Amino acid sequence: MALIDSCPGPQGLGGLQATAQGRSQQYALGQIGECYRANQQTATISSQVVYAVDPVVYAVDPGYTYLTGGPYYSSVNFTPKAIPDPRIAAEERFYEEERARQRLHRVEVTARAESLLLSALNPIQAKDFRTTREFTVISKDGKRTYRITYGIAGNVILIEKGKPVARYCIYPIGIPIEDVMLAQKLMLETDEESFIRIANRTPIRGLERVVLVAA
Amino acid sequence: MTPKQVLDVELGPNQSVMAIMNETGDKKTIYDRTDPVQVEAAKAEFKVYKDKGYMAYKMLDEGKRGEILHSFDPTAERIVFSPPMRGGYGPY
């Protein structure tokens, strides 16, 4: 319906070539009282006029009456309303669908990983995990106790005499958190020496210790 | 004999499962321990992941700690693979 064109009016504003009641008219884009035409008469837009000021697309609804006629261009007394550019709308729809798909994917992945983890925990650990998202693991020789907290890095805590004394950072890459926790548990229970050798160890002192004990 | 729940999948009496952790949670391969062809395929898959540095664990009954597998165990009912472990951040 509408063509972008330049307005040859006195202000030299950008304008719009549109058709109203079968007549081709030209008016300024969103400018009120800036473009004039002599011998004013009224005209009514017969169908929706759509024009673009990149990247926004505006529309003038049918039925809008405006002044026109003469060698100069009339003022255009409307407030343009933005309507979505079909290209942008399609792009936004695509990204929204993609985000929804990824959210669903994350939920499925987490559920699968949690299911695998729970299938490998004993009933006490499973109950603990369901309640606190953490569980306790006893080393293979039964001498040390570790608390695996929900996370990937630095989430394995060595407990001695009921108090946290060190934090271990060790993990496989590219798998969900629950799988990481399971990998840490399996390694601690079967090959603690390698676990300690590979992991980075950070002593827990001061305030962090107080906070962890309180928790 | 009714199927039983093993590694969150239902297995028949002679079936085994290998769960390989990956970015989607895990990929499960189910095979029949009495079928030499299926066992051979499972063994080949086991080798592929071991060669990539994955750690394989033979899972025992609920609550019992697993065992590290250095080679394919055709009697294992459930095997879990985890990607190679690496030391992370720290000391903090």
ipTM above 0.90, yes or no: no
**Residues A187-199: pLDDT tens digits?**
999 999 999 999 9
> Residue A197: exposed, middle, or buried by beta-carbon count in 10 A (0-12, 13-18, 19+)?
exposed
What is the maximum alpha-carbon separation in chain A?
101
Q: What does each of the 92 residues of chain B score in pLDDT, given as a tens digit?
A: 444 445 667 788 889 999 999 998 999 999 999 999 999 999 999 999 999 999 999 988 766 778 999 999 998 988 999 999 998 776 55
Q: Scanning every residue of chain A, which has its alpha carbon at the shortest distance from the alpha carbon of B79?
A: A120
Retrieve residue A181's tokens: 């926790």
Smallest CA–CA distance, residue B66 to chain A, in Å, is 7
Instruction: For B14, list phi and psi in degrees, rounded to 5.
Output: -110, 15
pLDDT at position A69: 40
Phi-psi region of A194 (alpha: psi -120 to 50; beta: other; left: phi over 0): alpha
The DSSP call for residue B9 is: E
User: In terms of C-beta distances under 8 Å and separation of at least 24 residues, what long-range contacts does B67-73 make, across chains too?
Assistant: B67/A190, B68/A190, B68/A191, B72/B42, B72/B43, B72/B46, B72/B47
CA dist A51 and A30 (Å) reads 10
Across-strand partners of A3? Answer: A17
Closest CA in chain A for residue B6: A119
Decide if pLDDT at A208 tops 80: no
| Greater model confidence, A84 or A107 | A107
pTM of the model: 0.67
Nearest by CB to residue A170, choosing from B7, B67, B87, is: B87
CB-side exposure of B56: number of CA atoms within 13 Å?
A: 23
Scanning B8-47 for CB atoms below 8 A from A yields: 8, 19, 21-26
Confidence of residue A55 (pLDDT cuts 50, 70, 90): very low
